């Protein structure tokens, strides 16, 4: 019916009415809190480009995990900063790697917190790429940590990298990581990880695949936090082209066929259409990562007085949820949980 009989503003008059008819709801149990774990003791070093986010030693990570759990946030995802890097990402898969240490310590103190382990090699590789690097065949044709200065041709070797990713996944699961989350974007990684976990007797360990991870300019602050910037080139040969939504559906479908239990789109707000398309097409639990650049922009604008921080924070999270993500990885998990409480 038309105005004046139909008045859509009737249900917007008060906060209570608006809440009653809200179509999309945020709750703390939809959040996953990212944490960056580093060597040392008593370390709580703020990331300059991400105010309120810290590099944490294991003892401080335990305290952070306790706070996350108290706030009703059910899960944290761990990223590691090793004490040294090499060409085979030893720190990622070693039984005493920094994330493995943190996982054991957190599980000892906060056993009900769901721990996710980001499985990528960039933080642990001397060259900062997500896989093994070789000079391209038309160049030197030999494995190298980084191409010589005069050589611009190189290749991120897919299949050889799968072994390291699978080894890392098994190591993390044995250390207490509940969910394996590969973010490397190597072809076939989910299948390789699933096979390795099953062969290790870890058949109940689920995989949350960064299924559609785009080569994005929004990752800059994360690379400071995780010390993971590539030392040469970029990641466009393995992360997705932001122009391609149909290819994103193929990536997701491939990961599901290989055994992914959950899927993720990253970044979130610049790719809300991809989240919506994935929700429409696939039935698996769907996550989205509100990445470091999204967080940093909100923080910078708020500190300049250009926006209302809490309002924009919650609006951004609501938009991701409305697009179809039932799980949101966000640096705002703690702050949003406090507001929702």
Catalogue the active-site residues: 213, 266
Torsion 10-16-21-23 (CA) sign: positive
How far are the Cα atoms of 76, 78, 286, 328, 332 from residue 112, in angstroms, in the given order?
11, 15, 22, 19, 21
- Pick from 158, 42, 169, 154: nearest CA to 97: 169
Residue 201 CB burial class (10 angstroms; 0-12, 13-18, ≥19): exposed
Shortest CA distance to 180 belongs to which of 118, 131, 254, 260?
118
SS3 assignment, position 112: coil
Question: What is the pairing mode between strands 262-266 and 208-213?
Answer: parallel
Structure tokens at 154: 């190189």
- In terms of Cα–Cα distance, which of 61, 71, 66, 60 is closest to 30? 71
């Amino acid at each position: 019916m038309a105005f004046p009989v139909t008045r859509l503003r009737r249900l917007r008059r008060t906060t209570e009415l608006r809440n009653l008819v809200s179509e999309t709801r945020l709750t703390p149990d939809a959040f996953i809190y990212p944490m960056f774990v580093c060597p040392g003791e008593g370390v709580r070093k703020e990331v300059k480009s991400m105010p309120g986010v810290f590099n944490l030693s294991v003892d401080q990570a335990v305290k952070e995990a306790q706070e996350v759990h108290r706030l009703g946030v059910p899960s944290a995802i761990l990223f590691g900063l090793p004490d040294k890097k090499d060409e085979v990402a030893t720190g990622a898969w070693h039984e005493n790697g920094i994330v493995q240490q943190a996982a054991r310590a957190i599980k000892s103190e906060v056993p009900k917190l769901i721990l996710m382990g980001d499985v990528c090699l960039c933080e642990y590789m001397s060259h900062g790429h997500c896989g093994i690097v070789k000079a391209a065949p038309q160049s030197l044709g030999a494995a190298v940590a980084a191409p010589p200065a005069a050589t611009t041709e190189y290749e991120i070797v897919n299949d050889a990298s799968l072994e390291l990713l699978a080894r890392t996944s098994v190591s993390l699961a044995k250390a207490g990581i509940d969910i394996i989350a590969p973010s490397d974007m190597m072809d076939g990684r989910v299948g390789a990880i699933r096979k390795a976990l099953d062969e290790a007797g870890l058949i109940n360990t689920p995989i949350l695949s960064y299924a559609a991870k785009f080569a994005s300019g929004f990752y800059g602050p994360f690379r400071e936090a995780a010390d993971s910037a590539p030392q040469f080139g970029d990641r466009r040969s393995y992360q997705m082209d932001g122009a391609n939504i149909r290819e994103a559906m193929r990536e997701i479908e491939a990961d599901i066929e290989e055994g992914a239990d959950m899927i993720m789109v990253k970044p979130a707000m610049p790719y809300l259409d991809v989240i919506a398309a994935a929700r429409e097409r696939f039935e698996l639990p769907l996550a989205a990562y509100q990445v470091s650049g999204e967080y940093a922009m909100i923080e910078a604008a708020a500190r300049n007085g250009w926006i209302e921080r809490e309002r924009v924070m919650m609006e951004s999270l609501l938009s991701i949820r409305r697009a179809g993500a039932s799980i949101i990885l966000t640096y705002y998990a703690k702050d949003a949980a406090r507001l929702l409480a």
